[in-house]
Structure 1
Amino acid sequence: MRRVVVGATGTPGSLAALHRAAAEARVRDAELWVVLAWQSPGGELGSRNGLGPTALAECRAAAVERLRELLDAAFGALKPGVTLSGFAVRGTPGAALVGTACDPGDLLVVGTGPRGPLRRLVRPSVARYCLAHAACPVLAVPPSPLQSDLEAVHRRNTWRIPLDLRELTPEQ
């Protein structure tokens, strides 16, 4: 059976990729595999220095619950119309996605987001990692045009900039 593999984080870009992956799975008559990558607190170093099996099991259980919440928020009562499987995979997001989409017949769907210079230094791009390392085709889904509007509203609220009501009226 062919698979469409997509990562889930709950961000608007992740949800856009998830819905695009569901559409691709319907078109290709494929299974939809949703992957949530998780890491132990402190990363791999933290898991080697004192986290026992109980703590790791709790981290995995929290990731599974988060995945259930994400899928419920993404699809709600409406089902995606394809066979859906969710996986909580321990590891970094890029490696978890590439490791899951390991068959050349798979399709890996990743969301891309706005990436400023500071964000690139702090957090590497999962989409770039997948494009460089995947053994299957990768579909990079750009962010929704509404995402930049949402980010502008967040910046306005953070800096407490007053809203000019003329911005809300459509131009003619």
Structure 2
Amino acid sequence: MDRVIVGVSGSPAGLAALRFAVAEAQRRGVGLGAVRSWQVAAGCRSRPWGEAGWDRAWERDAGQRVAAAFRCALGGVPVTPQVVVSTPAGAPGTALMDAVSGPGDLLVVGAGSRWWGGGVARLLVRRAPCPVLVVPPPALARVPGRRLVREVAGELARMAPRGQAGV
């Protein structure tokens, strides 16, 4: 069965990708696979928890990050489409490609850098067995810090009633 699969992150582009993926799954009438992978940093598998303890902690953290992304992007996990959350161990690109069940699926990821997608998106575009959609960050997320402050101040000034231009 065809699905929309989204790589979940809390970045502005990742949240935009999550919103797009939910809308696309609803439009197509298919399920949504939400994938957030995790990797244990070298040297972290030692005491006091041991390997299994660290794995459980990282997997739990990945699940919490998926829930937080849904809350931030959409106010919570939608009722439709049916959402299946996956938090596999491993590299993000590999985890997303492993989630694909066939060429009818659609992979959706947020652009990870100023260049068109970052390493995960480039890997998926080159190697994924299905179409890949790379969602750019929202316009305000692409604006450098000082310029953002100027643009927000200018927008607030334009929105203020006449004679009250100060913030």
Q: TM-score range by the shorter chain?
A: 0.7 to 0.9
Residues 77 and 59 of structure 1: CA distance in aligned 2, closer, same or farther (over 3 Å): closer
Partners of 1:136 and 1:164 lie apart in 2 by 42
- Which residue identity lines up with residue 55 of structure 2 in the other structure? L
Deviations along 1:10-53, whole A, 9 cap, x unmatched? 000001111111111011111011111111122xx765x77521
- Could you state the TM-score of these two structures normalised by the residue count of structure 2? 0.77
Match of 2:119 in 1: 125
Match of 1:111 in 2: 110
Q: For structure 1, which runs of at least 5 residues remain unmatched after alignment?
A: none
Match of 1:98 in 2: 97
- Which residue identity lines up with residue 96 of structure 1 in the other structure? A
SS in 1 for 2:62: helix
SS in 1 for 2:133: strand
Match of 1:134 in 2: 128
RMSD value over aligned CA atoms? 2.8
SS in 1 for 2:124: helix
Match of 2:25 in 1: 25
- Could you state the TM-score of these two structures normalised by the residue count of structure 1? 0.75
Match of 2:138 in 1: 144
Match of 1:84 in 2: 83
| Stretch deviating more after TM superposition (50-59 or 100-109) | 50-59
- Which residue identity lines up with residue 55 of structure 1 in the other structure? W
Match of 1:63 in 2: 62
Give the share of equivalent positions with the same residue, in percent: 34
Q: For structure 2, which runs of at least 5 residues remain unmatched after alignment?
A: 159-167
SS in 2 for 1:91: coil
Partners of 1:86 and 1:144 lie apart in 2 by 24
State how many pairs are aligned: 152
